């Protein structure tokens, strides 16, 4: 059995946040509750993948899904307290990226 040097909780956190698009979905929801179509139009992600990521984040207790019994039914996604507690982490990552990530490297990565 391989012995891990990292804390298992930190490793799990990195696995959650390291999933493609997950950080951007959480970042998008920092501004408040949003409908699926709004999140989808804000990110270059397929509806199927967005749905998978939202379900995964809901299972982790980071995102909550609220269904409003209106006609038509309205569904909104928002951050839970656990999800909102990631805001300072993402804001610091945003500051770091503004300081250290050049736009040249962005153009070369596509």
Give the angle subtended at the CA of 87 by the CAs of 39 and 43, to the nearest 5°: 20
Over residues 1-55, the pLDDT tens digits come to 565 677 889 999 999 999 999 999 999 999 999 999 999 999 999 999 999 999 9
- pLDDT at residue 2 in the model: 61
Place of tokens 């839970």: 80
Q: How many domains does the chain have?
A: 1
- pLDDT at residue 107 in the model: 61
Residue 57 lies in a domain: yes
Q: Where are the alpha helices (H) located in 1-110, listed in sequence order?
A: 8-17, 22-29, 36-42, 47-59, 81-84, 87-100, 103-108
Measure CA 96 to chain center: 18
Q: What is the mean pLDDT of residues 83-90?
A: 97
Q: Band of the pLDDT at 108, cuts 50, 70, 90? A: low
Residue 77 lies in a domain: yes
Residue 16 lies in a domain: yes
Measure CA 28 to chain center: 7
- pLDDT at residue 105 in the model: 59
Range of 40's domain?
Answer: 8-101
Residue 110 lies in a domain: no
- pLDDT at residue 103 in the model: 79
What's phi and psi for 62, nearest 5 deg?
A: -95, -35
Contacts 24+ apart (CB under 8 A), 83-86: 83/26, 83/29, 83/57, 84/30, 86/17, 86/26, 86/62
- pLDDT at residue 74 in the model: 93
Residue 39 lies in a domain: yes
| Mean pLDDT value across the chain | 91
CATH number of the domain residue 23 falls in: 1.10.10.10
pTM given for the model: 0.85
């Amino acid at each position: 059995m391989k012995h891990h040097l990292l804390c298992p909780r930190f490793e799990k956190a990195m696995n959650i946040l390291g999933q493609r698009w997950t950080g951007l979905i959480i970042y998008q929801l920092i501004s408040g509750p949003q409908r699926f179509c709004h999140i989808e139009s804000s990110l270059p992600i397929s509806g199927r993948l967005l749905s998978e990521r939202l379900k995964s984040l809901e299972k982790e207790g980071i995102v909550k899904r609220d269904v409003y019994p209106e006609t038509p039914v309205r569904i909104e996604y928002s951050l839970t307290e656990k999800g909102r507690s990631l805001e300072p982490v993402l804001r610091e990552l945003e500051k770091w990226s503004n300081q250290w990530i050049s736009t040249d490297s962005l153009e070369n990565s596509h």
